[in-house]
A and B are shown apart, each in its own frame.
Chain A
Amino acid sequence: MSKKAAPGGSGGFDISRAWTDERARGVIFQLLLVLGLALLAAFIVSNTITNLREAGLSSGYGFLFDTSAFDINQRLVEYSSTSTYGQAFVVGALNTILVAVMGVVTATVIGFVAGVLRLSNNFLVSRIVAAWVEFTRNVPVLLQIIFWWLIMLALPRVRDSISFGDAAFLNNRGIFLPAPIFEDGSAIVLALILVGVVATVAVRYWARKRQDATGRTFPVGWAGLGLIVGVPLIVYFAVGQPLDFDIPEKKKFNLKGGFNVTPELVALWLALSTYTGAFISEIVRAGILSVSKGQTEAAGALGLRRGLTMRKIILPQALRVIIPPMTSQYLNLTKNSSLAVAIGYQDIVSIGDTILNQSGQALEVISLYMAFYLVLSLLTSAFMNWYNKRIALVER
């Protein structure tokens, strides 16, 4: 490596020789670039403000406190047409987060299953999965969203709903499930479930310690099942079943009551999770293939079964390759959810567009979209980076 500092070693900086000094030149160009970008940004902002003022348009975020006067069909928080634009934004943001979280979970499951199956020794299985992956990856996601939506619309009409024991119904207006009504005493059961989760984590920690020390294994799964499901179930019956259900009922136009999952949510969820799942399956496949074959053979020589080899030997090493590209898939899924507007799922963009139209505050609404997706993406990245660090190979 050649020395990049000014030659001579005098220590002084000669301005006349700056152009011949690679490092000084680099600094100068970087400064010029930053200055240029700053000027450009300042010009855009001031130009926009001037134009808005000249056009006599009101700007600012005060409109968020005005009454929205429109309704939203899927609300995770209290909202009505007498709420404000700001509250409507919150409802939309939560709807986006809901479909994004649901999508990320199922896409991961689909991706892992498909990725492992594609490496299957069974020719038929691996070929079918390969064909599915190639098809799903290469068709635009908007078309897939509309495809799933049209499938949902092709379900039986509301009068011919498919009934599941007269408690749950399926039709082209969505899935109608009994909604739980919590009565006195149900708090104890819910608390016990929480306690069960905490206890299971503790048992798992203890079991691991013991296995490290003595080599003896402990059936954590069964213990957890007993703690999380068994104990609360016994108490539930003991205190007299303090849980009732609001069962959907057929009314003149619709099913009323219960809990409704709209076909738009289902269609969007299925489309996003299969589309992203196909990409994830390729990442998983790459991750598994990155672990050398010697590892599998060594595990086999030690007498580990195939499932255990995959879980204990291959996947922990593959995860290090898998996690970084997974982050961008999760981000893509979140951002793709804005395509919901095409089928009428009321995500932040769909609701924001209505607000934009009513209030006319185009710049402000678009800036809120950008801020929301930016924050959501940064949070996702931060979490994934933390997880990546945790599973990274710790070298001594």
Chain B
Amino acid sequence: MSFRKIAGAIAVAGALVAGGAMSGQAATLDDVKAAGTLKCGINTGLPGFAYTDDAGNWTGFDVAYCRAMAAAVLGDANAISFVNLTGKTRFPALASGEIDVLSRNTTWTFSRDVDLGFTFIGVSYYDGQGFIGRTALGIGSATELDGASVCIQTGTTTELNLADFFRVNGISYEPVPIETNAEARAAYEAERCDVYTTDASGLAATRTTFEDPSQHMVFPEIVSKEPLGPLVRQGDDQWADIARWTLNALITAEELGVTQANVAEMANGTDHPEINRMLGSEGSLGEMLGLDAQWAVRAIAAEGNYAEIFDRYIGKDSPLALGRGLNALYTDGGILYSPPFR
């Protein structure tokens, strides 16, 4: 009995200490408001996801999320200081507080979520690792790659998936790991390796830059699950909630037909209760988040709903022309699904 009491006391003490530590950190929202800008970590440059437009402004699928969040929190979609991060520098930057949120096509994995002390707030893009090879190789499947040389861009989970795939299929390969996409592509184009592997979205982006894209094919195998999404530091639940529901608002907006064009009008009230709750004309969801009632209106007005952002930067209206695939709404055969606003 006494042992239980002691254990209970320790548990309570532990909870108190943990609570104390958390309250010490739960200030990201205040910090961001005080600074007046959202520090958003993005890629150093990846077509479709984060790149500079003709005017030199950062834009893209990952950047659009930063803008939606800045609009929701600060009321200004441009109140962002972008921090360009490599695969190596992204985690220390987030852990140290150099950035408030990381939106840099980062795969949600167990160890990153648990061991590195981050909180993934959702999935903005369901990706998977694939292979691109020359049609002249005359093979139709990645399982026929026994003995091939494989170019890899390092600094991602790619190397592990590749090793797992070849080990599971009992075939051998020569890895050629290269740090940057540009050099890895050069090696592939010079036929230093037979195939190039990275996330399927990246392959589609890379394929468009080849001299004759029709000579290259993306193999049907997707060898890994790569749920890409934004993440924040662990320990500040309020901030994680804001980040999570900003993403959910974009997805729900698509589901309910709220667009960049009609969001202002719909904010005045509609006959759909969930739209009204999300856009603040009913209930007080915004206050619960520590924001105002109009937060989601601004988030959607920044770059549009999920479908608009997808189509503009990586989907049918972009050079990448990626299909929605898994990233279609669950009502359209995909797995994109937001919890309800109520």
**Which residues of A are interface residues toward B (Cβ below 8 A)?**
51, 54-58, 69-73, 81, 146, 150, 153-154, 157-158, 172-173, 251-254, 256, 263-264, 341-344, 346, 350, 353-354, 356-360, 362
B149, A253: Cβ atoms under 8 Å? Answer: yes
8 Å CB contact of A344 from B148, B157, B178, B235: B178
Contact A254 B148 (CB under 8 A): yes
Closest 7 CB pairs of A and B: A56-B117, A153-B190, A344-B178, A70-B159, A81-B163, A253-B148, A360-B116
0 or 1 for each of B141-155: is its CB under 8 Å from A? (1 = yes): 000011111000011
Whether the Cβ atoms of B174 and A254 lie closer than 8 Å is yes
Give the complex CA separation of A18 and B66 in angstroms. Answer: 63
Q: Which residues of B contact A69 (CB under 8 A)?
A: 160, 163-164
Nearest A-chain residue to B151, judged by Cβ: A344
B115→A256 contact, CB < 8 A: no
Residues 142-189 (chain B) with a chain A CB within 8 angstroms: 145-149, 154-157, 159-160, 162-164, 166-167, 173-180, 183-184, 186-187
| CB of A345 to closest CB in B, whole Å | 9
29 contacts between A and B (CB under 8 A): A55-B233, A56-B117, A58-B115, A69-B163, A70-B159, A71-B166, A72-B175, A73-B176, A81-B164, A150-B186, A153-B192, A154-B190, A157-B191, A173-B193, A253-B137, A253-B146, A253-B149, A254-B147, A256-B147, A344-B177, A346-B177, A353-B88, A357-B87, A358-B160, A359-B111, A360-B91, A360-B111, A362-B91, A362-B92
Please, which residues of chain A bring their CB within 8 A of the CB of B88? 353, 356-357, 362
Enumerate chain A residues within 8 angstroms of B25, measured Cβ to Cβ. 54
Chain B residues within 8 Å of A51, by CB: 96
Chain A CB within 8 A of B303 CB = no
Interface string of B10-31 (1 = CB under 8 A from A): 0000000000010011000000
- Whether B233 and A341, one on each chain, are in contact in the complex, defined by CB atoms closer than 8 angstroms, is no
Point out the residues of chain A lying under 8 angstroms from B179, CB to CB.
Answer: 341-342, 344, 350, 353
Whether B116 pairs with A73 at a CB distance below 8 angstroms is no
How many residues of chain B have a CB within 8 Å of chain A? 51
Contact A357 B156 (CB under 8 A): yes
The answer to whether A344 and B156 touch across the interface, beta carbons within 8 angstroms, is no
Inter-chain contacts of A359 with B (CB < 8 A): 111
Asked whether, in the complex, the Cβ of B116 is within 8 Å of the Cβ of A71, the reply is no
Per the 8 Å Cβ criterion, residues 207-227 of B in contact with A are none
Contact B177 A354 (CB under 8 A): yes
Contact B155 A353, beta carbon cutoff 8 Å: yes
* Chain B residue at smallest Cβ distance from A363: B92
Q: What CA separation (Å) do A362 and B173 show in the bound complex? A: 29
Cα-based distance from A253 to B166 in the complex (angstroms): 15
Chain B residues with Cβ below 8 Å from A343 are 178, 183
The contact string, 1 if C-beta is below 8 Å from chain A, for chain B 52-96, is 000000000000000000000000000000000001100110011
Residues of A within 8 A of B149 (CB): 173, 253-254
Q: Are the C-beta atoms of A252 and B146 separated by less than 8 Å?
A: yes
Q: Which of A252, A350, A353 contacts B147 (CB 8 A)?
A: A252
